[in-house]
């Protein structure tokens, strides 16, 4: 049964099965300003666990409410959900409202996979294709992609796909930089390779060494 309540903030606890990720201060500051001006538009989502409320969706909203000094917050309560289903609900809400950080999405999908949640059920809940879910899972298992995700240097599946089309030397150069791996950077690397290939084609002497 779903019910909307006004819950004391001190009774709402963070989901211990959700990986801890740093919150970007810039986006949180904007949310604080918005909630101070117009209040909370979307309630947080919680489920009952023993004598406390477990937060499923709305971690940033809860943190903003704490910064504003609120004592209570609007919360939508649902029946107890196991960790895999909490991850699925969190992923679905974030995907259709505010873009969910890719690292959190991959964490959620891996948890659902470990819980043997059918891929087609996950895809349907997220409004995505089975191919999209499988592509994210494959990326999440790659050690290079994992390292990029953990350091907040990979923000899209498309950028990863572009990266995989590059030859090993170009990939190495991109990884040596601390800059985020984007589609644009991968395309520029591919264009640079193409230009060098044209200059060094048979019958054409190289114009000079690239810097």
User: What gap in Å lies between CA 144 and CA 76, rounded to an integer?
Assistant: 38
List alpha helices for 79-202, DSSP H.
83-96, 102-114, 119-126, 130-141, 143-150, 157-164, 168-176, 183-199
* 1-81 under CATH 3.90.1530.10, yes or no: yes
pTM: predicted TM-score of the whole model, two decimal places: 0.56
In terms of DSSP bridges, do strands 72-78 and 52-57 run parallel, antiparallel, or are they unpaired? unpaired
pLDDT of residue 211: 42
pLDDT in tens, the chain (211 residues): 567 889 999 999 988 877 666 666 667 888 899 999 999 988 998 988 877 899 988 888 999 999 999 999 999 888 877 787 787 777 777 665 556 678 878 888 888 888 788 888 788 777 788 999 999 999 999 999 999 998 889 988 999 999 999 989 889 889 988 889 999 999 888 888 877 777 766 655 554 544 4
The pair of structure tokens assigned to 173 is 């150069």
Residue 99 in contact with residue 133, Cβ under 8 Å? no
Residues 127, 44, 81, CA angle at the centre, nearest 5°? 65
Place of tokens 């209040």: 39
Torsional sign, CA 193, 152, 143, 162: negative
User: What gap in Å lies between CA 140 and CA 147, rounded to an integer?
Assistant: 10
**Between 183-199 and 168-176, two packed helices, what is the crossing angle to 10 degrees?**
130
pLDDT of residue 142: 94
CB atoms within 10 A of CB 62: 21
User: What gap in Å lies between CA 77 and CA 35, rounded to an integer?
Assistant: 21
Buried b (16+ CB within 10 A) or exposed e, 140-163: beeeebeebbeeebbbebebbebb
User: What gap in Å lies between CA 128 and CA 134, rounded to an integer?
Assistant: 11
């Amino acid at each position: 049964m779903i019910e909307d309540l006004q819950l004391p903030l001190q009774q709402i606890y963070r989901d211990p099965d959700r990986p801890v990720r740093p919150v970007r201060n810039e986006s949180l500051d904007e949310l604080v300003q918005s909630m101070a001006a117009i209040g909370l538009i979307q309630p947080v989502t919680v489920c009952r666990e023993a004598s406390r409320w477990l937060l499923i969706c709305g971690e940033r909203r809860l943190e903003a409410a704490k910064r504003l000094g609120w004592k209570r917050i609007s919360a939508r309560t649902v029946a107890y959900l196991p960790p895999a289903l909490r991850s699925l609900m969190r992923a679905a809400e974030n995907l259709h409202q505010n873009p969910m950080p890719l690292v959190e999405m991959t964490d959620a999908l891996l948890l659902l996979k470990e819980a043997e949640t059918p891929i087609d059920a996950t895809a349907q809940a997220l409004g995505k294709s089975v191919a999209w879910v499988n592509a994210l899972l494959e990326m999440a298992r790659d050690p290079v992609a994992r390292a990029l995700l953990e350091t907040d240097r990979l923000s899209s599946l498309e950028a990863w796909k572009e990266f995989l089309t590059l030859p090993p030397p170009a990939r190495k150069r991109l990884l040596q930089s601390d800059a985020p791996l984007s589609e644009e950077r991968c395309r520029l690397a591919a264009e640079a390779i193409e230009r060098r290939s044209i200059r060094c084609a048979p019958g054409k002497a190289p114009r000079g060494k690239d810097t």
